[in-house]
Structure 1
Amino acid sequence: MHTLVLALALLAVLCLPVFLALILGADELLDRLACAVSEWRDARRERRTIKQLDRAVDAASLTRDIDLTAFDADGRPPIEEIAADLRRLAGQRLGIAGRSQVWQCAVLRAYDDRLRLASQRLGVAEHLAELEGMDLEIERVRVEGELTAAGLSLPAAPSGLRRKQRGG
């Protein structure tokens, strides 16, 4: 009987640190469990909401009547052709200082037209047709930056060349 009590007392002394660790760490274990349950509940709620939205808006029926071949119409040049035109016209814009006023206007008008086409194809907002003067030049630079950010490769004129072109 004494050996049993002695063995239990020894076991209690050896397990005391484990029990203390469980008691002190129980709040963190409960917090982790509560977070896991909360995340599971949120994910379940999101899946249920998505399923309800899918049922409410039948995406297949919305797009069934859209003719996707209109997006590939022959009258619209491919974006690669537009980009090549923009690069060619950008090079011609750099050399317009020695050309006639008519030629300069024609190059800038063609460049703006191609910028508008590229903007439409890539979904970039532009206001080139509505502006003139310095505002138009600023809008060109902004649209060029937006098109470059959208993935279109456009050459940038060195700042010195732009200054010479303007006569400054």
Structure 2
Amino acid sequence: MAVVHALVLALALLAVVCLPAAVAAIICADELIERFVGALAEWRTAWRDRRTIRRLDRAVEADSLSRDLDLTVFDQADRMSIERIAADLHRLGGQRLGRRRPHLAVGRSSYWHEGLVRAYDERLRMASRALGVAEHLADLDGFDLEIERIRVEGELQAAGLHLPTATTERRREQR
């Protein structure tokens, strides 16, 4: 009987000593379970996103679309942003059409105007490369160049880049 009492006493002491540790384990287990469930939810979301992207890649054949693109061009530090190109196109386009400060354009030479048009065409080429629009401005001259410039401006506007054009200026004057 003494052995049973000693065993019960040892278990009671063990329970009293381990009770704080057991309570702490229960409290921490709640936090550990929360972390595990959160990590599981994040993993499941990431897995679903990867699965959706894989399905879209297969459906669109994304590899064939980007196979011929040189993506290192977009990583260059000296590459102008599309916002800067758009601002230059607005400034140069307004000067080219004679809308911005027309009193200053009166005394300008034809060389100045040709340089302005070349700068405008260069910015059109840069915007075309940035937005993936095909252009042939460097290959043409004369009336063909004017037609190509109008086509490229239309394509860039369709891609979301608003450009000043002679037709929009005429519409504003008619109002």
TM bucket (normalised to shorter chain) is: 0.5 to 0.7
Change (3 A) 1:144 1:98: farther
Q: Using structure 2 for the length normalisation, give the TM-score.
A: 0.51
Q: Using structure 1 for the length normalisation, give the TM-score.
A: 0.53
Instruction: Point out where structure 1 has 5 or more consecutive residues left out of the alignment.
Output: 1-49, 162-168
State the partner residue of 1:81: 84
From 132, 139, 163, give the equivalent of 1:154.
163
Change (3 A) 1:160 1:83: closer
State the partner residue of 1:121: 130
- Residue 80 of structure 2: SS of its match in structure 1? coil
Q: Work out the number of aligned pairs and report it.
A: 104
- Distance, in Å, in 2 between the alignment partners of 1:68 and 1:140 is 26
- Residue 137 of structure 1: SS of its match in structure 2? helix
Aligned-residue CA RMSD (Å): 3.3
Is residue 142 of structure 2 the alignment partner of residue 133 of structure 1? yes
Instruction: Point out where structure 2 has 5 or more consecutive residues left out of the alignment.
Output: 1-53, 99-104, 171-175
Deviation string, structure 1 residues 62-88 (Cα, Å, up to 9, x no partner): x9xxx9675232111000000000000
- Distance, in Å, in 2 between the alignment partners of 1:151 and 1:126 is 16
- Give 1:108 shift: 0.4
